[in-house]
Structure 1
Amino acid sequence: MPANQPPVDPAIRLQLLDLLAGFLRTQALHTVAVLGIADIVGDEPVTVEQLAAQVQADPSSLHRVLRVLAGSGVFSEAAPGAFVSTPLSGGLRTDAPLSVRHMAMFQGSDTYLAAGQMLRAVQTGEPTAEMVFGMSFFEHLASDPDRNACFNQAMAGGAGARAAAARDFDWNRVSVVADIGGGNGSVLVGVLGAHEHLSGVVFDQPHVVTAAQPVIEAAGLTERCAVAGGDFFTDELPAADVYVMAQILHDWDDERSLTILRNCRRSIAPDGRLLLLEQVMPDGDTPSYAKLLDLIMLVLLGGKERTESEWRALLAEGGFELLEITPRPATNLIEAAPA
């Protein structure tokens, strides 16, 4: 280091140290999510001793985790050693619409392990999941029913936001919609529930799509919604007026994404529509959750988030014309038509 190099400004140093502590906040959120603390803490103060007794934890250790989270607005220490809920902690409740509880459980475990090898992903250009899990990410989910269930519940938490974006599309001239890679069917169920003239089908891998049937039954949509198992890379897709893909293409690099898009292009009607519910990354230094999500794709799957120009180019190469992007709080509705 040059002799005349000035010392790091103390404020800058503290800011960097705070950024470095992000992994501790992730694990603190994961811990309280697994223990279900947000389901217990409400408007009235609850002591750490009471909480620890209910979740079988050590009171002192639990207190140390909760006070860190309270410093970020997740819970509030209303009195020494006693906590109440806040809007942020409410987002971790199991019964909260759009709950983040299972996302915290999954990102603090499976995703966390893969992200710990990010350097390797940057050096090789390959996802780290296979090194961490001994197999690809989706093979890992298929081999472990508990992890698969946690992942599906994590995705369902955001599916409500994606379904809200999809519901606002003009469905008046549509009869049948297929959710490609539809998981447990949450997005399609939301659309069909809001538009009674529609029928639809959830299409996904056989071990995944089995989770959709209970969701469809609970919504009372068995007469209007079917399920179909298959591979969206190679299998013929269900006939429909509109194909919806909610956060599917971000799982894959451009080559694999083009394979999916070309399969959609082969199956879609000439006047059909493709709706993508995806992030659109801003250019430049603008902060965006999409840029963080892009790193999750890097380590787990080798996929990526994309800018508007990247989406336009990818769709064009896959046989589609990008018609419109409608920004929404949690996602974007990207409408495309066969070119």
Structure 2
Amino acid sequence: MRQEKNEAGGNGAAGADEASAGSAQDARLRRSSVFLVDEALGFLFPAALRAAADVGVADHLGNGPATPAELAAVTGTHAQSLHRVLRLLATRGVVAEDEDGRFTLTDAGQALRSDVPYSARTAVQMLTDRTMWRPAGELSRCLTDGTTAFDAIFGMPFFEHFAQDERTAAVFHVGMAAMSDPENAPIAAVCELPGTGTVVDVGGGHGGLLAEVLRRNPGLEGVLYDRAHVLAGHRLDADKELAGRWSLAEGDFFTAVPPGDAYLLKRITHDWDDDACATILGHCRRALRPGGRVLVLDAVVPRGNGPHQSKALDLMMMASLTGRERTETDFAQLFSAAGLRLSRILPTPTVLSVVEAVAA
């Protein structure tokens, strides 16, 4: 009888342990479910951020706190709907709502204004434009087909679409300039360039980076190299102190690049696959003067599970373009294919690094 009692007691303890383990597993799965649902709702924050950017609400908050009704009156929007958008933005610290229902633009939200230096408004509009948004929504297509989702949605590759759609092209180039402006000075400070000679900004857009480089290196002359429609919006003539030290060169970096002592390629290689990058870098290698260097300014994907903007940008590239963000090993292989050698990687205060190459 005693043995039976012990066995019964043992089975009871085992049953309790199993129930406890099952309860713990149940709790973990519940937490996981709640977490994943919350993460899936995360896409609504950039949607709200874009809506606020589109109607220019931040410009009016620059004058001080205001109620949704007051803001709706000056932005031509629906007060209750505007309040709901601002309420979500307040959860991420872009705005703050006080006890009287008035909203204030926080320090973190100041760059949503269009009337401040380093305004991010057009960058937000570019990053959430339909050309980025729609392909991201069909990312699973990239997994099953191994190709960008953009072509199937818009009927042509990314840059071909831009060439045919002036609205999209304007959104992209203006937005990219806004995204780049806060980065240019700290990146230029890290770039080590020759004291004299010519630096060529390949695919340099409106010239913001080149201007910063020339300011910091008075012995250099610069060439802004890009397509004609992009060069039309350049800003190099805005700084009179740079007069006579720069020139524009129209062309296609898949065909050739102007000769130079140093090349800058900011956010260029991540747009293209390895073969296309090898072509671009190969042109730089052939045009590079003796002792020169090629500076690729792109994000370098770090090892490990930690957050890094490059990992998000990489999925944007996968969805809309043929390129990708690369690791140090990827860059070394890319340079080798173009007759170059990775010499060093210099971190900057931004998400981008200076990935430097010399002739192999």
Same fold, judged at TM 0.5 (above):
yes
Consecutive unaligned residues in structure 1, runs of 5 or more:
none
| 2:297 match: secondary structure | strand
Partner amino acid for 1:295?
Answer: L
Judged with a 3 Å threshold, the aligned counterparts in structure 2 of structure 1 residues 18 and 113 are, in CA distance, closer, same or farther, namely same
Q: Is the Cα contact below 8 Å between 2:210 and 2:224 reproduced in 1?
A: yes
- AA matched with 1:104: V
2:228 corresponds in structure 1 to 206
> Which residue number corresponds to residue 39 of structure 2?
19
Q: Which runs of 5+ in 2 are unaligned?
A: 1-21
Q: Per-residue displacement from partner, 1:207-235 (whole Å, max 9, x unpaired)? A: 222222xx012122342111111111112
Structure 2: how far apart are the matches of 1:87 and 1:12?
33
Amino acid at match of 1:94: S
Pairing of 1:179-194 with structure 2 (within 5 A): 179-194=201-216
Structure-2 separation of matches of 1:203 and 1:186: 13
CA contact (8 A) 1:43 1:85 kept: no
Contact 1:178/1:201 (CA < 8 Å) preserved in 2?
A: yes
Specify whether residues 43 and 13 from structure 1 end up closer, same or farther in structure 2 by C-alpha distance, changes over 3 A only: farther
Q: Which residue of 2 aligns with 1:124?
A: 145
2-side partners of 1:43 and 1:95: how far apart? 12
Q: Is the 8 A contact 2:190 2:348 kept in 1?
A: no
Quick check: 1:30 aligned with 2:50? Answer: yes
User: Where do 1:1-339 residues align within 5 Å?
Assistant: 6=26, 9-42=29-62, 44-109=64-129, 110-160=131-181, 161-212=183-234, 215-220=235-240, 221-235=242-256, 237-330=257-350, 331-339=352-360
CA contact (8 A) 2:184 2:212 kept: no
Q: Confirm or deny: 8 A CA contact 1:91 1:98 kept in the other structure.
A: yes
Deviations 1:157-209 (A, max 9, x none): 23230342123323352321100011111110121123222211111122222
Displacement of 1:15 in angstroms is 1.8
Amino acid at match of 1:149: A
Cα offset, 1:247, TM superposition: 0.7
Structure whose alpha-carbon radius of gyration is higher: 2
8 Å contact 2:261–2:290 — kept in the other structure?
A: no
Could you tell me whether the CA contact under 8 Å between 2:201 and 2:265 is conserved in 1?
yes
Once the two structures are TM-superposed, the CA of residue 8 in structure 1 deviates from its matched residue by: 5.2
Percent identity between matched residues is 38
Contact 2:126 2:176 in 1 (8 A): no
- State the one-letter code of the partner of 1:179: D
> What letter corresponds to residue 87 of structure 1 in structure 2?
D
Rounded to whole Å, the distance in 2 between the matches of 1:11 and 1:33 is: 34
Secondary structure of 2:294's aligned partner: strand
Alignment size in residue pairs: 333
Looking at structure 2, the residues matched to 12 and 80 of structure 1 have their Cα atoms a distance apart, in angstroms, of 37
Q: Distance in 1 between matches of 2:190 and 2:26?
A: 55
Separation in 2, partners of 1:97, 1:312: 36
CA RMSD of aligned residues (A): 1.8
Deviation at 1:6, TM superposition (A): 3.6
Aligned-partner residue type, residue 32 of structure 2: I
Per-residue CA shift, 1:92-140, capped at 9, x if unaligned? 1223433321121122222111211111112111112222222211122
Shift of 1:303: 0.5
TM-score by length of 2: 0.88
Give the whole-Å Cα distance in 1 for the aligned partners of 2:243 and 2:81: 47
Counterparts in 2 of 1:308 and 1:26: CA distance versus 1, 3 Å: same
Q: State which drifts further: 81-90 or 40-49.
A: 40-49
Measure the CA separation in 2 of the matches of 1:14 and 1:99. Answer: 35
Change beyond 3 A, Cα 1:332–1:98: farther
Separation in 1 of the partners of 2:95 and 2:202? 38
Per-residue deviation, residues 49-96 of structure 1 (Å, max 9, x unmatched): 111111111000000010001011110002343100112211212234
The 10-residue stretch of structure 1 (97-106 or 115-124) with the greater mean CA deviation from structure 2:
97-106
Query: Structure 1 CA distance, aligned partners of 2:185 and 2:358?
Result: 20
Query: Which stretch shifts more, 66-75 or 7-16?
Result: 7-16
2:111 and 2:29 map into 1 onto residues whose CA distance is 36
Bigger proportion of residues as helix: 2
